[in-house]
Amino acid sequence: MPPKRKAAAQAAPAPSKAGRTSALSTPGPATPRSLDSSMMSEADDDFDEDVSEAQKQREDGLGVEAEQFVQVFDLSSKRFQGKNEKRTDSVTSFFKNGERDFHYLPLKPDHQRRPLYIEPTQGLIFLERWSPRGKQATDFLVTIAEPVSRPKYIHEYKMTAHSLYAAVSVGLTAKDILTSLDGLLKTEVPQSIRSFIEEYTMRFGKVKLVLKGNKFYIESVDEKMLARLLNDEIIGPLRVHTSGDGEGLTVTTAPKMGGLVIPGTQNAAGVHQANLKAGGAEPAANEGELYATLNEEDDDDKEAVHAFEIPDHAVETVQKRCLELGMPILEEYDFRNDDQNANLEIDLRPNTQIRPYQEQSLSKMFGNGRAKSGIIVLPCGAGKTLVGITAACTIKKGVIVLCTSSMSVVQWRQEFLKWSNINPDDIAIFTAESKNKFSGNTGIIVTTYSMVTNSRERSHDSKKMMDFLRGREWGLMLLDEVHVVPAEVFRRVISSIKSHSKLGLTATLLREDDKISHLNFLIGPKLFEANWMELSQQGHIAKVQCAEVWCPMPTEFYDEYLRANSHMKRTLYAMNPSKFQACQYLINYHEARGDKIIVFSDELYSLKQYALKLNKVYIYGGTGQAERMQVLQNFQHNPNVNTLFLSKIGDTSLDLPEATVLIQISSHFGSRRQEAQRLGRILRAKRRNDEGFNAFFYSLVSKDTQEMYYSAKRQTFLVDQGYAFKVITQLANLDKTPDLAFATAKERRELLQRTLVDNEKGGEEDVENDDLFGKPVRRAGGRRGGGVRRTAGTLGELSGGQDMAYIEQNKGANKTLKKQAKAQQNTFFKKIAREKERVRTGK
DNA sequence: TATTGGGCAA
DNA sequence: ATTTTTGCCCAATA
């Protein structure tokens, strides 16, 4: 890896040493001693660690390690920050403690032509997007920093440990980064940033984990680095001594690279051109320089590579330990020189062309002619699957694809067959239903995370399959929806199946817990993240208008809301009649425009009530497989079915047909991921190329309830992606909606009572029996309602006998509704059956 | 073959 | 300022 070696030479100046010495005397309070000292040892080559401390550490989960690691390496830590001499003057006093005052950083004379500011204590970078060099700066920042917020004008990025790790992993050196940064910054590069970059690039990417002949090796061009690892009291003993190599390291030479071709690129001309092309039309002086290093490897192909072997079970331990030592292991797969594993007959179909941003993300992965492990973040509908397939077609070795549900397993297989020329016998599915292997000696297996991680008693076939999966080497592991992996159970996948490279795909690298950073060492750095706004401007995904509709709660609802327990609260703000009206109005409006509408409600009771009242089809977890298909097909093809109600089942486990409008009436607390995922459902809209076409995303919120808070939180991710939420407090001509529901006070009171009654009974025989399809539903009365402890007395006080009569009436109305739905539905089904028949016989 | 319960995530 | 229930998946059961 010549570029990296050069980096080491250039990036080890005296000042960083001074920085470390000063840090030694002031370890952060939350910083474990062992971590701190091990990090320091980089300077003076000694590993005087407290052994018991280290033992304890080993027992801790990887997660804890990662968090500590991040703390120690944080830019805001003292050892980086000591180095700014802050000056104070007459203005400083206006800032609190002078803390956020950075005007001591002098502007360069030509600062107006430079688009970037950098904040020296957090590594925040601000980009003036309108600058003529805005595009160039964006490309640079995407490589070295994490996007934080990208609204219209000023974009915010953050340079972090992980982002620099990613930069190094695509072959950049400290010098590359500093030169480009300096060129784009309005100020000089602050000293803290300079040492931060230098120290990181020096440490990162030097040690690699490679799989050779089903054995794992730790590899580096830097012999001293390996010696240091072998001296470590955790890694050292784990080394496998193969016969003949004695105490010396295995030495091989890095093979020469030829021009790698990523299939599907416009002229399939390989990485170098792909990179130049990715630079776009603008003159990209810096960028050209930047990417030139990616291919520098060709220069000296006699590079000696040192390695030692470690056993399979130690991989996790070693990865963890190297992380502690501040030298995270990078995984690279030199697939073109792998003749141990059989090649897979696979290529993209000849006329397939991948989009520029897909190409860009793949060129990050294959930047140096090898397959790097990492994560690619693309919004839903932007073609994540095709990126994965193209990666598989580039590597041409055995592939294992992991998905979240068996639905997407089937889809992935179909996509593979659609985009590539893979022999259908070579791509097999491993789920509860199907446990076939591929016929040849290599191929593709598509399966789910839970299939692979399940540790309980398994059927004989599954066991055999698992042994098969575990027993061989895979060229590529594709991890769909990779944000689920950090969960305790799912991370077991990483160690149980041996793969040379891993590619994680996701739309939202977000979780409400802090485990997302674990992906950086479980899989690899984030290689690429698309800018949603940019993609929608280019017409790859739909343009979306987002709105939050504020629905006032009628007083009687609000009173009840204040008294209710948390579940009832959720039900009540979903059942808010104003919300219902707003929903009805929006459905009306958009159906008239010819839109396809999806309504999401996490709250099952309201989901069913809304759907029944409005006579729309709905799907939730209890809906049987066949019905789901029928409803979905109707929604897709039947011009009379334009609105579909969905529970959160629609978030992950359904392959939804495309819709153009999305209405949210109830959602899962403040989950930003859910919000983003749901928005993603309308990004595919095909009509996006029509002039002025917009998709719509409405979030209905009951005023003055918890929903307001959650809603704001949920939106933050989308706002950071550049979406602007309009707040609507009044819908124009709402009252002109035909058959507007709950228009009278009496109806509203009824609704409230019915809601209370139905939910009190524990849902025993509530709407479940009015299921559109009359099918018995699992867990109908089950765990729900345990906590509801309302007495009949409370209800009596509220209602009065008169209103009880209306409840009866309403039940009758529901039944009529159901009959209608059934009658209607029968015609749909016939139609669908005919259609199916046509498709079948036609082909 | 359909249903049920356990485990897990969000 | 925080949560609960829901849904998925598998394997066992009748």
Cβ contact A762 with chain C strand, < 7 A: no
Per the structure, the residue whose CA is closest to nucleotide C10 at C1' is A432
Per DSSP, A822 falls in state: H
Distance measured from the CA of protein residue A822 to the C1' of nucleotide B4, in angstroms: 28
Per the structure, the residue whose CA is closest to nucleotide C2 at C1' is A669
Distance measured from the CA of protein residue A754 to the C1' of nucleotide C13, in angstroms: 38
Q: What angle do CA A352, A357, A362 make, to 5 degrees?
A: 75
Measured distance CA(A689)–CA(A542) in Å, rounded: 8
Measured distance CA(A565)–CA(A352) in Å, rounded: 55
Measured distance CA(A127)–CA(A182) in Å, rounded: 14
Distance measured from the CA of protein residue A436 to the C1' of nucleotide C2, in angstroms: 45
Widest pairwise Cα distance in chain A: 94
Cβ contact A649 with chain C strand, < 7 A: yes
Measured distance CA(A387)–CA(A362) in Å, rounded: 7
Per the structure, the residue whose CA is closest to nucleotide C12 at C1' is A457
Distance measured from the CA of protein residue A624 to the C1' of nucleotide B2, in angstroms: 11
- A763: nt with nearest C1' to CA: C5
How large a percentage of chain A has pLDDT more than 70? 72
Is A76 exposed, middle or buried, given 0-12, 13-18 or 19+ CB atoms closer than 10 A? middle
pLDDT digits 0-9 by tens, A470-523: 888 899 999 998 988 888 778 778 777 888 999 999 988 888 887 887 787 778
pLDDT of residue A2 exceeding 50: no
Distance measured from the CA of protein residue A509 to the C1' of nucleotide C11, in angstroms: 32
Cβ contact A783 with chain C strand, < 7 A: yes
Cβ contact A601 with chain C strand, < 7 A: no
When mean pLDDT is compared over A275-289, A755-769, A791-805, the highest value belongs to A755-769
Measured distance CA(A518)–CA(A592) in Å, rounded: 47
Per the structure, the residue whose CA is closest to nucleotide C7 at C1' is A621
Cβ neighbours of A103 (radius 10 Å) = 12
Q: What angle do CA A45, A51, A52 make, to 5 degrees?
A: 155
Please give the full DSSP string across A293-361, using - where no structure is assigned.
GGGGGGS-TT-EEEEEEE-GGGHHHHHHHHHHTT-PPEEEE-GGG--SSPPP---B-TT----HHHHHH
pTM exceeding 0.85? no
Cβ contact A462 with chain C strand, < 7 A: yes
Distance measured from the CA of protein residue A621 to the C1' of nucleotide B5, in angstroms: 16
Per DSSP, A663 falls in state: E
pLDDT of residue A205 exceeding 50: yes
Nucleotides of B under 7 A from a protein CB: 3-4, 7-10
Cβ(A700)–Cβ(A663) under 8 Å? yes
Distance measured from the CA of protein residue A447 to the C1' of nucleotide C3, in angstroms: 32
Cβ contact A458 with chain C strand, < 7 A: yes
pLDDT digits 0-9 by tens, A574-618: 999 999 999 999 999 999 999 999 999 988 888 888 988 898 888
Measured distance CA(A623)–CA(A772) in Å, rounded: 10
Cβ(A334)–Cβ(A252) under 8 Å? no
pLDDT digits 0-9 by tens, A331-344: 888 898 888 889 99
Which residues share a beta bridge with A543? none
pLDDT of residue A838 exceeding 70: no
Cβ(A296)–Cβ(A6) under 8 Å? no
- A454: nt with nearest C1' to CA: C10
When mean pLDDT is compared over A38-47, A397-406, A686-695, the highest value belongs to A397-406
Close Cβ partners of A525 (under 8 Å, ≥ 6 residues apart): A162, A163, A165, A166, A169, A374, A375
Close Cβ partners of A804 (under 8 Å, ≥ 6 residues apart): A753
Residues with CB under 7 A from strand B: A 450, 483-484, 487-490, 511-513, 624, 668, 671, 673-674, 776, 778
